[in-house]
Chains A and B, each alone.
Chain A
Amino acid sequence: MRRWASQYWEILQSAIESLRANPLRSLLTSIGVMIGVAFVSLMGWALRSLDAAWESTLSSLGSDMLYVDKWNWAGGGNWRTVMNRKNITIDQAEEIARRLRSAEMVYLSADAWGRSIVHADQRASGVVIEGTMASFGMLPSTSLAEGRFFSEMEERNATSVAIIGDGIRSTLFGNRSPIGQVIRIEGRPFRIIGVMSKRGTLFTDFLDRMVYIPLPAFFALYGRYSRSITIAAKAYSPSELDILRDELTGVTRAVRQLAPNAENDFSINEAQVFRDQVANIRAVIWAVGIGLTALSFLVGVIGITNVMFVAVVERTKEIGIRRSVGAKRSSILVQFLAEAMMLCVAGAVVGVIACSLLVAVLALVLRESAEFLLPVLPAEIVVVAVVISIAVGIIAGFVPALRAARLDPVEALRYEA
């Protein structure tokens, strides 16, 4: 065993040496593998980051929450049909909330999209003004970075207080604390009493551009019937989501007075609706990633096979010498396989290092807009990449190595370059 090990260690060393004898050629040859490994790594990294974004979407929207809305959040269904749905009025919404039995908690909200707010001479646009209830502030998924949410008293009195999203805070106030400052919404002053923690994700980036005000204050700004109301209902546990969904469907259909055979004229949204989106993105990343990876490994295999054939011819004499001093066919085979493998592993190492740098830089540069990007490559992806590259080396090196091993020692010794 030790004999065996020492001989193969020797082979590995001589493989490294012969690569170092031709550094430029080795580098150029292994570019295919480098790129292949880069694609594998980046694909794994992108999928990982996507999963992380998905996880935080689940937790920011609440995995035990259902939202009855005129709109389908995932964009499913016929757009024109959805467009033509009647708004859910505040009266309907209150009736639905009153009738629900299987919800632990219900709150109503209404949104005004694409508004602008002003603080001093600063303006933030693309803001979502959401009128909501104090109970929203009590949800476990609602977390504040600073200050407090408004109380039931403030809600009932339509007090002009606001809680702003993390994105708006950084637009209007930079690093200063906004608590106690006044912003103007549709020209009317609101006092900031709280700042939400950062909660937007890849799928819900608008969450950080929201301003929460008491629902009655919202009605005062935009009118009672101008916007469709969203009914948010929390199940007692995620496992009871189905019961809640059935009840919500039934109650909403009743309140909206739908005929028994009519389609729902509302959507029941939940964090899970983003699952389809996640699955689609995953599929695209996979397809593109696997395609590019396969292509570059194919190019890598062809390049390495070609260079190994050249190396076998160049080193015919060396093969003859080694055979004359006692190398078996198998020793020669292993030697050339080891060289092809080392080429690939070297390419893989360069590829992984380059990707690690790229990923670290990307995560740093995009930390505002794409916070879900991981700053490091997942470890198992690196392992997979190296294993694949070893396999590629063996595949690419096998035929040339076999040719080397089968050289007739007499002819190999006679060979002159």
Chain B
Amino acid sequence: MSQHPLILLDGIVKHYRMGEEIVEALRGVDLAINANEYVAIMGPSGSGKSTLMNIIGCLDWPTRGRYILDGVDVSQLDDAELAAIRNRKIGFVFQTFNLLPRATALKNVELPLIYAGVPPQQRRQRAIAALESVGLGDRLRHKPPELSGGQRQRVAIARALVTEPSLILADEPTGNLDSKTGEEIMQLFERIWRQGNTVVLVTHEDDIARHARRIIRIRDGKIESDIVNPTPHVVEPLALER
């Protein structure tokens, strides 16, 4: 659709101070991701992939370099503006689901819409629709402890989708699931991608990364390789029984 990429990282450097030491987590990352790509960012722990994900997800600022998300230079934004970007343009899916344990599935999915200032009526409708789209239309009133791991991750995915963001950013989304359930979640991502969303997976597992159509490997804070996946593991998009 647009001529410029959805994500444009230009010489991203990130330093951390750990006590006396300065850790160089990212040492100059240049990367462009277009809309409706399906990308896996891979790397061993300590490679800087989590830092990269936090910067792409606007949870953190780069020390140097420019980050243009959807045409906006987010490296210049303040906290409130970044919060708004996270709210509208990014949907996070985490390894540990990160749901509010005391809130129902419905409330959890409504949460981003609350911060977006969507009126209650509309908020409810959109949250219900999102939950139905991940096959949890009958679990609206359940709280996370009453749901299985796979169901919890689907609630989290519904929460990520509910604001219709530009980017779905998933950090080890199957890390806490058994392989069968993990496979179902990957089928769900397949469908989300095919529906026109941009999906970025952050993982260290080849099994997961092979679903993506493009694989970027990070090592020691730099991009080691960036290839089109020659043999993507194509799964059937998750068909939902109602």
Q: A7-B117, A326-B115 are in contact. List 18 more A-B contacts (CB 8 A).
A: A3-B119, A4-B117, A6-B117, A6-B120, A21-B102, A321-B111, A322-B111, A322-B115, A323-B59, A324-B86, A324-B98, A326-B87, A326-B163, A327-B115, A328-B79, A328-B80, A328-B83, A410-B54
Partner of B80, one of A321, A329, A413: A329
Most buried by A among B79, B92, B114: B114
Partner of B83, one of A2, A318, A326, A410: A326
Sampled A-B contacts (29; CB under 8 Å): A6-B114, A6-B119, A7-B115, A7-B117, A21-B102, A317-B98, A321-B111, A323-B86, A324-B59, A324-B92, A324-B98, A325-B87, A325-B92, A326-B84, A326-B87, A326-B116, A327-B83, A327-B115, A328-B79, A328-B80, A328-B83, A329-B79, A329-B80, A330-B80, A331-B83, A331-B115, A409-B60, A413-B59, A413-B98
Task: Judge whether A186 is part of the interface by a CB distance below 8 angstroms.
Answer: no
Contacts of A400 in B (CB 8 A): none
Contacts of A330 in B (CB 8 A): 80
Are A325 and B86 within 8 A (Cβ)? yes
Please provide the chain A residues from 1 to 55 with a CB less than 8 Å away from any CB of chain B in the complex. Answer: 2-4, 6-7, 10, 17-18, 21
Interface 1/0 per residue, A308-343 and B, CB below 8 Å:
000000000110111111111111000000000000
Question: CB within 8 Å of A: which residues of B?
Answer: 54, 57, 59-60, 79-80, 83-84, 86-88, 92, 94, 98-100, 102, 111-112, 114-117, 119-120, 159, 163
Are A326 and B86 within 8 A (Cβ)? yes
Q: Report the nearest A residue to B99, measured CB to CB.
A: A321
Question: CB within 8 Å of B: which residues of A?
Answer: 2-4, 6-7, 10, 17-18, 21, 317-318, 320-331, 409-410, 413
Least Cβ distance of B152 to chain A in Å?
A: 13
CA distance A331 to B112 in the complex (A): 12
Least Cβ distance of A416 to chain B in Å?
A: 8
Most buried by B among A10, A320, A330: A10
Contacts of A17 in B (CB 8 A): 102
CA distance A351 to B1 in the complex (A): 63
Partner of B98, one of A2, A321, A331: A321
CA distance A317 to B101 in the complex (A): 11
Least Cβ distance of A11 to chain B in Å?
A: 9
CA distance A21 to B100 in the complex (A): 13
CA distance A328 to B112 in the complex (A): 11
Least Cβ distance of B140 to chain A in Å?
A: 17
Contacts of B92 in A (CB 8 A): 324-325
Are A2 and B57 within 8 A (Cβ)? no
Least Cβ distance of A384 to chain B in Å?
A: 34
Q: Report the nearest A residue to B169, measured CB to CB.
A: A324
Least Cβ distance of A87 to chain B in Å?
A: 82
Contacts of A324 in B (CB 8 A): 57, 59, 86, 92, 98
CA distance A404 to B99 in the complex (A): 18
Contacts of B98 in A (CB 8 A): 317, 320-321, 324, 413
Contacts of A317 in B (CB 8 A): 98
Contacts of A321 in B (CB 8 A): 98-100, 111
- State the 7 A-B residue pairs at the shortest beta-carbon distance, nearest first: A326-B87, A3-B117, A326-B115, A325-B112, A328-B83, A328-B80, A409-B59
CA distance A317 to B100 in the complex (A): 9
Contacts of A6 in B (CB 8 A): 114, 117, 119-120
Q: Report the nearest B residue to A318, measured CB to CB.
A: B100
Contacts of B84 in A (CB 8 A): 326, 328
Most buried by B among A17, A21, A327: A327
Known A324-B59, A329-B79, A413-B94: A10·B100 in contact at CB below 8 Å: no
Are B80 and A410 within 8 A (Cβ)? no
Least Cβ distance of A389 to chain B in Å?
A: 26
Contacts of B87 in A (CB 8 A): 325-326
CA distance A329 to B94 in the complex (A): 21
Contacts of A329 in B (CB 8 A): 79-80, 83
Most buried by B among A317, A320, A325, A330: A325
